[in-house]
Amino acid sequence: MTLGARFALGRLFERLTALAAALIVLALGVVLVDVLRDGVGVVSWRFFVDEPGAGPTEGGIFPAIFGTVALTLVMTIIVMPLGVGAALYLHEYASPTSRLAGLARAAVHHLAGVPSIVYGLFGLGFFVHALGGALDAATGQALKWAQPGLLWAACTLAVLTLPTVIVATEEALRAVPSEVRLASLALGATRAQTLGRVVLPAAAPGILTAAVLAVSRGAGEVAPVLLTGVASWLPDLPGSLSSQFMHLGFHAYVLATQSPDVDAARPALAGTVAALLVLTFLLNLVAIVLRARLRRGMEAS
Amino acid sequence: MRELTQPAVAARPGPPSVDAQRRAARWDLLVELAVTGAGVAGIVLLLLMIVFVVREALPLVLDPVQREQASLAKLLLPQPWRDGHAPALLWNPTSKVPKVSVWPLVIGTLKVTGVALAVAAPAGVAAALFTSEFAPSRLRTWVKPTIELLAGIPSVVLGSFALMTLASALQSAFGFDFRLNALVAGLAMSLAIVPVIYTLSDDALRAVPHTYREAALALGATRWETAFRVVLPAAAPGVLGALVLGVGRAVGETMIVLMASGNAALVSANLAEPTRTVSATIAAEMGEVVMGSTHASLLFLLGAILFVFNLVLNVTAGAWVRARLARREGAPS
Amino acid sequence: MSGTVPARLGVLALLSWAMSASAGTLTIKGSDTMVALCQRWASAFRDANPGVRVQVTGGGSGTGLSALLEGSTDIAMSSRPIAPIELERLKQRTGVDPVVVEVARDGVTFFVNPANPVRALSVAQLAGLFSGDVTRWSQVGGDDRRVILYTRETTSGTSEFVRERLLGGLDFAPIAQPLPGTGAVVNAVSRERFGVGFGGAAFSRGVVPLRVRVADDEVAPTPEAVKSGRYPFSRSLTFVLARPAEGDTKRFLEWIASDAGQALVVAAGFFPLR
């Protein structure tokens, strides 16, 4: 092949890669426009603050927004201590040759690959039936905890997002220079003091990123909550951790597949999807910006 | 710094008391235990998950009734289903005569995953090559976050797009008999996994040392040849990791296939026919089963199949990467 | 990390919220067909009785009955007859006879795309379509095009009802596509020129309901034909309870049977009891 031909061919392939990138952005843009356009001009702000009405397309989706937020909040409270703790163990405590740490790392790696519907099965079998059943037996209550509900759905999502939190927190810990740890230890601080007063504050933005990533992942998952606690129509806000709840993603699924008149439901679907996207996109955006800062900081140091 | 200007002795506490030291040591131990516990939690959860999924599927082997209702032959071999028709591989566990062949579901999963990967792998890796090797840096700083942001589109949104819009568009473009089919679901799935493949591939490509590129260019390779023959192979383990994660996500993804694949459990290679996946079957049927029934055990068996598939995929990919890295390090350079 | 005062307050507030006993919630679960109807009832009942919490969840008649068996719902909605073995299982669990209450009537409607010229079919022809023996529309008087079958997942009471009533309990053709909701079936048929599906009478927008040929007559699922049972796919929509109703549940059932409750049945597109 002549030199000219090689360069021409190379340019052609380069253009093709640009085309691929453009197509991906375009395709995802088309999805958003297509799903959202039916809501424009039809969905008002009241849709987001009202409780659902009698018909599937009447009223608002406030309980679904509240349910999604409450669910992810409880999930965050459960997953963060566990995930940050595990990352601290892997990065700060375990020796690089530790068998246990190696095993833990492999486990986290495999957990990350487990399909979300399997988490749903696990949540139903372990949290709802086993743990919930034990809790009911212990407190002598007839069926309060041994049924799907907010807490169990949150626990299921917490297990689902655990790998995300661990990986992101580890990244944050790596960004803390080891000199500050050595300096702290050299001054006589214990390891716990070093962690609490030096390492964790320095890694805080990264840990926040981990939380945000977990929330944006957890808020969009429908398959696990399908089996562990979601309700189709529940105008009252969940009253306790054992209540069932409405959920934006599940509500979108119901509107798309179960309303008597799917075309009439499209504006409501668009509004529901918009609320869901605002939740996940805003959180994702925050995570992306925080992470970019963190990485820039790392490169600078 | 301010402390220096203050009367030093009065402001500074003396050396920590023995009591305080003891407290600090206790705390230190406590924190170490807590943190180690959290580290072990990952292992415990994975084991719990295996135990629970397997325990619920185990009656298929242990319980004589279930063993009869879902024998190996019924799970794997064609079964008679209707007079005048040849025995077939069917999934219909709630029928009068339950049919419990896993093949239609496994084949459905493979079909949808295959389509998704065939579209998303070239597109994702090519886009990663573009942003890491060719794109001006201004463009790159926009494209990457945009695609990462789009990775946050929940799968129900992709599912309803596929169900309402994509299916009709493909049917009118290609004249499919079936509006909902493996191709529709696979294409929608490719939208779900392409950001994953793209982001991780881009990270892997960017991690290749600049010296590789400089050496190739200095030897007279074109930009494309450098990217395709030098940088991409060097980043192969990372790119493979990206593809493995993409496959894992596609195999387990539920809502898209539940909504867009047509859900008919067929043994067929035709991508334009409806298809049913393992994950959609669990989601669709789990609600009605009575725990402890053969049907429930079967659904947990399907969960176990998904679980094991991912495990095998991860382990093989990991082994391949290690072998490759070992070869590279061992090779004379 | 959690040392700040607002964080502690937040945890405290959350804990108190978590511990607060939820006032008795009336949980209703089951038939997707009935979810929209039940929402209307629950919404109006709540307005008339402030303080009563009602939650409605779909998933299918099978899902509702299975939840009733587990005890995780107060009322199971069913759009199909309850099998004796299901009642037996319930009784075994509670020791009391379960209660089945008819709450509305429905006529399962078969529908096609408006572009399809077929407007009426006999029961035998419908059975041919859904069992897979008839694969082309020309075999039942339509165009020479492939029949695209839509059914519902097996959790669906409507689907089980059709399987029993139309096919005598045999399976649907393997090529039939079970979709996760009647809305999805209607939506699919309204976009698929040669599709055919079925659902409750309330679901027929954008599609054409077929008349059913009985003897020499073509019967449409009208209120009269459904009530008299002349329409061959008439059915009862029922509530199943594990034990006789009391308290809020009882009042809810009484209210549903009242004129006000039955008026909502018509509004939802189904047929009242009287």
pLDDT for residue A75 = 95
Most confident region among A181-185, B12-16, B315-319 by mean pLDDT: A181-185
Give partners of A (≥3 CB pairs < 8 A): B, C
Question: Is residue A30 one of the residues assigned to a domain?
Answer: no
pTM: 0.90
Q: How confident is the model at residue B291 (pLDDT cuts 50, 70, 90)?
A: confident
pLDDT for residue B84 = 83
Q: What is the pLDDT of residues B29-84, one digit of tens each?
A: 999 999 999 989 889 998 999 898 888 899 999 999 999 888 888 999 998 888 88
Nearest to A232 by CA among A52, A71, A83, A31: A52
Tell me the nearest-neighbour CA distance from A285 into chain B, angstroms. Answer: 7
pLDDT for residue B12 = 53
Question: Is residue A13 one of the residues assigned to a domain?
Answer: no
Neighbour-count burial of C3, counting CB atoms closer than 10 A to its CB (0-12 exposed, 13-18 middle, 19+ buried): exposed
Name every chain B residue with its beta carbon within 8 A of the beta carbon of A250. Answer: 156
Closest partner residue to A190 (CB to CB) among B28, B53, B123 is B28
Contacts of A89 (CB under 8 A, 6+ apart): A101, A104, B35, B36, B38, B39, B40
Topology of domain B99-330 in CATH is: MetI-like fold (1.10.3720)
Question: Is residue A261 one of the residues assigned to a domain?
Answer: yes
Q: What is the pLDDT of residues A88-116, one digit of tens each?
A: 999 999 888 889 999 998 899 888 888 89
Tell me the nearest-neighbour CA distance from C49 into chain B, angstroms. Answer: 31
pLDDT for residue C20 = 45
Angle between helices A150-174 and A62-88 (to 10 degrees): 40
Cα B143 from Cα B150, distance rounded (Å)? 11
Kindly list the residues of chain A whose beta carbon comes within 8 Å of any beta carbon in chain C.
Answer: 52-56, 73-74, 77, 84, 142-143, 146-148, 151, 200, 204, 207, 230-236, 239-244, 253-254, 256-265
Q: How confident is the model at residue C14 (pLDDT cuts 50, 70, 90)?
A: low
pLDDT at C116 over 90: yes
Q: Do C205 and A52 touch (CB under 8 A)?
A: no
Name every chain B residue with its beta carbon within 8 A of the beta carbon of C155. Answer: 284-285, 287-288
Closest partner residue to B52 (CB to CB) among A14, A21, A126 is A126
A18 touches chain B (CB under 8 A): yes
Are residues B275 and B112 in contact, defined by beta-carbon separation less than 8 angstroms? yes
Neighbour-count burial of C10, counting CB atoms closer than 10 A to its CB (0-12 exposed, 13-18 middle, 19+ buried): middle
What does the DSSP 8-state code read for residue C76?
E
Q: Do C146 and B168 touch (CB under 8 A)?
A: no
A264 touches chain B (CB under 8 A): no
pLDDT at A301 over 60: no
Name every chain C residue with its beta carbon within 8 A of the beta carbon of B294. Answer: none
pLDDT at B8 over 50: no
pLDDT for residue B14 = 63
Nearest to A253 by CA among C238, C190, C35, C161: C35
Tell me the nearest-neighbour CA distance from C185 into chain A, angstroms. Answer: 8
Long-range contacts of B132-136 (CB under 8 A, 24+ apart): B132/B202, B132/B205, B132/B206, B132/B231, B133/A17, B133/B205, B133/B223, B133/B226, B133/B227, B133/B231, B134/A14, B134/A17, B134/A18, B134/B223, B134/B227, B135/A18, B135/A21
pLDDT at B11 over 70: no
Nearest CA in chain A to C21: A240
What does the DSSP 8-state code read for residue A114?
S
- Between A230 and B3, whose confidence is greater? A230
pLDDT at C25 over 70: yes
Q: Do A14 and B130 touch (CB under 8 A)?
A: yes
Virtual CA dihedral for B232, B238, B239, B240, nearest 10 degrees? 120
B135 touches chain A (CB under 8 A): yes
How many residue contacts between B and C have a Cβ separation below 8 Å? 83
pLDDT at B3 over 50: no
Buried-state track A193-206, b at ≥16 Cβ within 10 A, e below 16: bbbbebbbebbebb
Cα A236 from Cα A245, distance rounded (Å)? 9
Count the helix, strand and coil residues of chain A and give each as a percent rounded to the nearest 5: 75, 0, 25
B321 touches chain A (CB under 8 A): no
pLDDT for residue C19 = 47
pLDDT for residue C13 = 58
Q: CA angle, corner C222, sides to C221 and C227, nearest 5?
A: 95
pLDDT for residue A285 = 80
- Between C138 and A266, whose confidence is greater? C138
pLDDT at A77 over 80: yes
pLDDT for residue A42 = 79
- Between A298 and C242, whose confidence is greater? C242
Q: Do A28 and B160 touch (CB under 8 A)?
A: no
pLDDT for residue B41 = 87
Closest partner residue to A53 (CB to CB) among C43, C56, C264 is C43
Residue A57, both tokens: 């397309």
Q: How confident is the model at residue C127 (pLDDT cuts 50, 70, 90)?
A: very high
Structural domain boundaries enclosing A296:
40-300
pLDDT for residue C6 = 59
Q: Whole-angstrom distance between the N-terminal and C-terminal Cα of chain A?
A: 47
Closest partner residue to A21 (CB to CB) among B127, B152, B255 is B127
Closest partner residue to A257 (CB to CB) among C181, C202, C205 is C181
pLDDT for residue A287 = 76
Q: Do B28 and A126 touch (CB under 8 A)?
A: no
Closest partner residue to B92 (CB to CB) among C63, C70, C171 is C171
Tell me the nearest-neighbour CA distance from B332 into chain A, angstroms. Answer: 28
Residue listed under structure tokens 């700060």: A92
Kindly list the residues of chain C whose beta carbon comes within 8 Å of any beta carbon in chain B.
Answer: 59-60, 62-63, 65-66, 69-70, 89, 146, 148, 153-155, 169-171, 174-180, 184, 187-188, 191-192, 194-195
CATH architecture of C109-228: 3-Layer(aba) Sandwich (3.40)
Question: Is residue A12 one of the residues assigned to a domain?
Answer: no
Average pLDDT over residues A147-162: 94
* Spans of all domains in chain C: 23-105+236-267, 109-228
Q: CA angle, corner A259, sides to A258 and A263, nearest 5?
A: 120
Name every chain C residue with its beta carbon within 8 A of the beta carbon of B291. Answer: 70
- Between C98 and A175, whose confidence is greater? C98
Q: Do C183 and A264 touch (CB under 8 A)?
A: no
Q: What is the pLDDT of residues B91-127, one digit of tens each?
A: 999 888 899 999 999 999 999 999 999 999 999 999 9
Angle between helices A62-88 and A266-300 (to 10 degrees): 30
Tell me the nearest-neighbour CA distance from A299 into chain C, angstroms. Answer: 26
pLDDT for residue B6 = 45
Nearest CA in chain A to B245: A113
**Pick from A118-122, B99-103, B214-218, C18-22: least confident:** C18-22
Q: What is the CATH number of the domain that holds A279?
A: 1.10.3720.10
Count the domains in chain A. Answer: 1
Q: What is the pLDDT of residues C50-84, one digit of tens each?
A: 888 889 988 889 999 999 988 889 999 999 999 99
**% of chain A surpassing 70 pLDDT:** 97
Residue listed under structure tokens 């039916």: A38
What does the DSSP 8-state code read for residue B2?
G
pLDDT for residue A261 = 79
pLDDT for residue C233 = 95
Q: Do B287 and C63 touch (CB under 8 A)?
A: yes
Please provide the DSSP assignment of C93-150 as one string: HHSS--EEEEEEEEE-EEEE-TTS---EEEHHHHHHHHHTS--BGGGGTS-SSB-EEE
Closest partner residue to B177 (CB to CB) among C146, C170, C180 is C146
SS3 at position A94: coil
pLDDT for residue B7 = 46
pLDDT for residue B9 = 46
Name every chain A residue with its beta carbon within 8 A of the beta carbon of C22. Answer: 239-240, 242-243
Average pLDDT over residues C144-153: 95
pLDDT for residue C10 = 60
- Between C25 and B15, whose confidence is greater? C25
Are residues C49 and C251 in contact, defined by beta-carbon separation less than 8 angstroms? yes
pLDDT at B172 over 80: yes
Nearest CA in chain C to A142: C71
What does the DSSP 8-state code read for residue C170?
P
Please provide the DSSP assignment of A139-200 as one string: HT-SSSSSS--HHHHHHHHHHHHHHHHHHHHHHHHHTS-HHHHHHHHHTT--HHHHIIIIIH
Name every chain A residue with its beta carbon within 8 A of the beta carbon of C71. Answer: 142-143, 147
- For testing the chain B interface, which of C57, C87, C154 should be mutated: the one with the most B CBs within 10 Å? C154
Nearest to B42 by CA among A164, A229, A115: A164
Tell me the nearest-neighbour CA distance from C215 into chain A, angstroms. Answer: 31
ipTM, interface predicted TM-score of the complex: 0.89
Give partners of C (≥3 CB pairs < 8 A): A, B
Average pLDDT over residues C16-37: 73
pLDDT for residue B2 = 44
Q: Do B39 and A85 touch (CB under 8 A)?
A: yes
Tell me the nearest-neighbour CA distance from B313 into chain A, angstroms. Answer: 9
Closest partner residue to C174 (CB to CB) among B96, B164, B265 is B265
Q: Do C183 and A151 touch (CB under 8 A)?
A: no
**% of chain B surpassing 70 pLDDT:** 94
Most confident region among A203-212, B10-19, C36-45 by mean pLDDT: C36-45
Among 1.20.1050.10, 3.40.190.10, 3.40.1190.20, 3.60.15.10, name the CATH number for the domain at C23-105+236-267: 3.40.190.10
Count the helix, strand and coil residues of chain B and give each as a percent rounded to the nearest 5: 75, 0, 25
Name every chain C residue with its beta carbon within 8 A of the beta carbon of B176. Answer: none
Buried-state track A84-115, b at ≥16 Cβ within 10 A, e below 16: bbbbbbbbbbbeeeeeebeebbbbbbbbbbbb
**% of chain C surpassing 70 pLDDT:** 91
Name every chain C residue with its beta carbon within 8 A of the beta carbon of B95. Answer: 171
